[in-house]
Amino acid sequence: MMNNYTKVVTILILSLLLFSFSEQLFLLAIEWIPLINVSMAFWIPFALSLVVAMLMLIFFKRQIKTRNHVLMVTVSFILISLTTFFFNAYYPEDFENRQTTIIVDKEIEEALLSQTEAQITCYLLVTCPYCEIASKKLNALYNSEKVSSIELVYFAHQQTADSLVTANNINIPYRIIENDSIFFTRAGKIFPSIQLQKDKELIHWSGNNVNFACFDELMKYDKK
């Protein structure tokens, strides 16, 4: 029979295994659940922690008879929740829309039209892990048809971009820009860099501003 320490360790191991798939579950939820938006990702890890806690109660229900056992369950749940937050730390600013807006004059409009017909353009560096995360979230939205008029632009050689897109199963149309001057002039200096063309405005998110609220806004604009 397992002692309390062994039980807690067992639950933590189970929670770690479960939470290691939380990002994949989040992407599948975006892709397969019609009404879900990206901000709902906030609740997924904590919902998983609740599931693990309930499984723990069921698994150890015969041993939960004293105050010590109830305390063990409570401490275990707290540890699970902390583990969840450690691996999926979210903050209030992740839900704030921090877009910047540029009024598009005739010269900028002509330049944009010459670049692409997509409404949403995402500029990415192949060495940027945050760019890879953003591309996966955008791909889930694209696969679910929650965004459609979108393209990815990589600063890379064609073969490198092709390999990265294949490895991450990206279905969004993409192209490359190999000239650093052209790429950084269009994209800016902070990545990932997402630009949305809306009427006479160019709406821009970059770096940490590419958060849950950003993806939710892209879904709204793409439907208009």
Specify the pTM: 0.78
Confidence of residue 24 (pLDDT cuts 50, 70, 90): confident
Element (H, E) at 215: helix 212-222
Note if the bond before 192 is cis, omega within 30 degrees. Answer: yes
Query: How long a stretch of residues is the chain?
Result: 224
pLDDT of residue 39: 82
Both structure tokens of 95: 């839900």
Complete domains list, the chain, with CATH? 4-90 (no CATH), 94-222 (3.40.30.10)
What values do phi and psi take at 124, rounded to 5?
A: -135, 150
CA separation (Å) from 187 to 153, 160, 169, 211? 9, 19, 24, 17
β-pairing verdict for 120-125 and 193-198: antiparallel
Per-residue model confidence as pLDDT tens digits over 126-182: 999 999 999 999 999 999 999 999 999 999 999 999 999 999 999 999 999 999 998
